[in-house]
Amino acid sequence: MGRRFRQCIFSLVYSPFLLTGPSLSAQVPTARLPQRNYLEFEGVGTLANGSLEGQTSDRHLFFAGISYQRLLIENRVVALRFSSEAIPLAILREPFLIGCGFDPISRQCVAQQTPRSFPAFTRTGTSYGTGASPIGLEVSLLPFRKIQPYFGIQGGFLYFNRNVLNVNAAQFNFTIDGRSGMRFSLGNGKAISFAYMFHHMSNHDIAVANPGMDSHMLSVAYSFPFHWFKGH
């Protein structure tokens, strides 16, 4: 009689857990893999020209880019990303002499840039280009916080529809920039960021003239995660 009594008590006490056990275990969240792949849309514009290596001024460069970013390392303190950016459109505004100058090679009258603008003697002309910054690294601090300081470096090139910075310079120019800014998390891996950039562009002496250009720039970007395939 005592044994049957104990069995009844056991059944009354533990039967709810036995019945709901499978459903409770199904509700336990499984570990999720961290987001590794990101896309970022970026807009960049010149605030002013610098004079570290470049010899030109009164120039404004604008470009739009889309980059792929791969998360390499992430912990509570720091995150490291590799980035590769395509630049479908770049616009360069720079001073030209009013009228044109004679080019002894082509024996034609061509527009000529000046190192800086001179009121009453120069006009502002526009050149269009495209390019890429295929190699970049970015380090962000406190990656799990809403506000994340970050800094990075990128290197690449820009190709314009004519020689830029100087009539005897080149259409093809190398670029490198260093940046520092803040990323604001929007949740679910999405973020908007603002950064200061110091940008250098020159043809690295592949042409007769290589005046170079340094720019203080502002970058605004929006990034979000994406999946190459399920599980990544």
Q: Where are the domains of the chain?
A: 36-225
pLDDT of residue 113: 92
* Secondary structure of residue 16 in the 3-state scheme: helix
**Measured distance CA(19)–CA(6) in Å, rounded:** 19
Among left, alpha and beta (phi > 0; psi -120 to 50; other), residue 15 is alpha
pLDDT of residue 119: 87
Nearest alpha-carbon partner for 85 in 39, 150, 37: 39
Average the pLDDT over each of 15-24, 43-52, 103-112, 121-130 and give the range with the smallest value.
15-24
**Measured distance CA(61)–CA(155) in Å, rounded:** 16
pLDDT digits (tens, 9 = 90+) for 66-111: 999 999 999 999 999 999 999 999 999 999 999 776 665 566 677 8
pLDDT of residue 104: 59
Which residues, in sequence order, are bridge partners of residue 5?
none
> How much is the mean pLDDT over the chain?
86
What's the CATH number of domain 36-225, 2.40.160.20, 2.60.130.10, 3.40.630.10, 2.40.170.20? 2.40.160.20
Q: Are strands 213-225 and 37-49 parallel, antiparallel or unpaired?
A: antiparallel
pLDDT above 80 (res 23): no
pLDDT digits (tens, 9 = 90+) for 155-173: 999 999 999 999 999 999 9
Q: How many CA atoms lie within 13 A of 34 on its CB side?
A: 11
pLDDT of residue 10: 44
CA-only gyration radius of the chain, Å:
29
| 213 to 25, 59, 81, 147: CA distances (angstroms) | 62, 8, 28, 32
| 136 to 41, 86, 97: CA distances (angstroms) | 15, 12, 37
Nearest alpha-carbon partner for 50 in 203, 196, 184, 193: 196
Mean per-residue pLDDT for 118-137? 95
pLDDT digits (tens, 9 = 90+) for 180-201: 999 999 999 999 999 999 999 9
pLDDT above 90 (res 223): yes
